[in-house]
Amino acid sequence: MDYKSGVIEVADGVYAWINENCATNAGFIVGDDGVILIDTLMTPTLASKLLTVVKDVTSKPIKFVVNTHFHGDHVYGNQYFLPAPILGHENCRIELDTKWDANLSRYWARETLRPELERINKTLPDVTFKDQMSIWLGDREIRMSYHGRAHSDSDILLYLPNEKVLFVGDLAVNKTIPAFPDGHISKWVDVLSKVEAVEADTFVPGHGPVGGKEEFREAKDLLKLLNDEIRAAFDDGKSEEQAAKDVNVGKFSVFANQDRIPQVVEMAYKAYRGELD
């Protein structure tokens, strides 16, 4: 899928770094005396590229690093931005710590990544919060909030109320079927329905291009459609395999990563059976 990638200034001093092919995005916000970095990507190579991208825009130091959730493709680069404090939801610290091996083994399956993954040291958020916390860069507020389990148990929103920009991590992805290794589909739909009310004109997803209100709504509609379709299959007593074949994503069939549907079904069935927290 072709879309605008690279560094995109979405508001004055507010940057999205958008990867191609729906790979992992990051972002950064430049204030009067420092920078907030949003996610650190997966490998040493990507983390150093990200650092170069920031340095090309500003010579100001990185004051804070924020982790949008615990998945390795968003946070394995943490160690390269020390000694900046790393902020995240309290569950991000817990999930990154306790699910370290399972998380790493997902990426380990890709053999070419192994030399990079071997260099990663566990680097957890060292400043955590429960419901909401704000960072101030001069007069600019960056409001971080948590709304419950969704894509993982540690997804946060970063909201810039003055600029009406939302960084959402993988809570909402754009133009792709979401990854579901830790997703709880019905809770996720609830969270997105709740946060849809946030007044934002621009949203920076964890994967895919920068979007606006409409694309944010699309992310929710897709998830709701998946939940409705899979729930009906579950209630009809269909096998997971059959359900995955029968799911009809309609207009979203042009989205990337359609091969994730079986994983969505598997996790949705677990959620319906009450096997997820």
- 167, two tokens: 């960084």
The residues binding Zn ion (CB under 5 A) are 71, 170
- 224, two tokens: 């709701």
Cα–Cα distance, 187 to 185 (Å, whole number): 6
Cα–Cα distance, 40 to 30 (Å, whole number): 16
User: Other CB atoms closer than 10 Å to residue 155's CB: what's the count?
Assistant: 29
Of 71 and 175, nearer to Zn ion (C-beta) is: 71
CB of 233 to Zn ion, least distance (A): 25
CB of 84 to Zn ion, least distance (A): 22
What DSSP letter does each residue of 134-198 carry, written as one string?
EEEETTEEEEEEE-SSSSSS--EEEEETTTTEEEEETTS-SSBPPP-SS--HHHHHHHHHHHTTS
Cα–Cα distance, 162 to 143 (Å, whole number): 11
CB of 236 to Zn ion, least distance (A): 30
Q: Which of 252, 250, 254, 182 is nearest to 219 (CA)?
A: 252
CB of 173 to Zn ion, least distance (A): 9
Of 71 and 140, nearer to Zn ion (C-beta) is: 71
Full strand arrangement of the beta sheet holding 156-160: 132-137, 140-146, 156-160, 165-169, 202-205
Q: Where are the alpha helices (DSSP H) in the chain?
A: 44-57, 72-75, 90-98, 100-108, 114-117, 185-195, 213-235, 240-246, 261-272
CB of 159 to Zn ion, least distance (A): 19
Of 137 and 172, nearer to Zn ion (C-beta) is: 172
CB of 265 to Zn ion, least distance (A): 18
Of 13 and 169, nearer to Zn ion (C-beta) is: 169
Of 153 and 170, nearer to Zn ion (C-beta) is: 170
Of 24 and 202, nearer to Zn ion (C-beta) is: 24
Of 71 and 89, nearer to Zn ion (C-beta) is: 71
CB of 260 to Zn ion, least distance (A): 12
- 210, two tokens: 């920068």
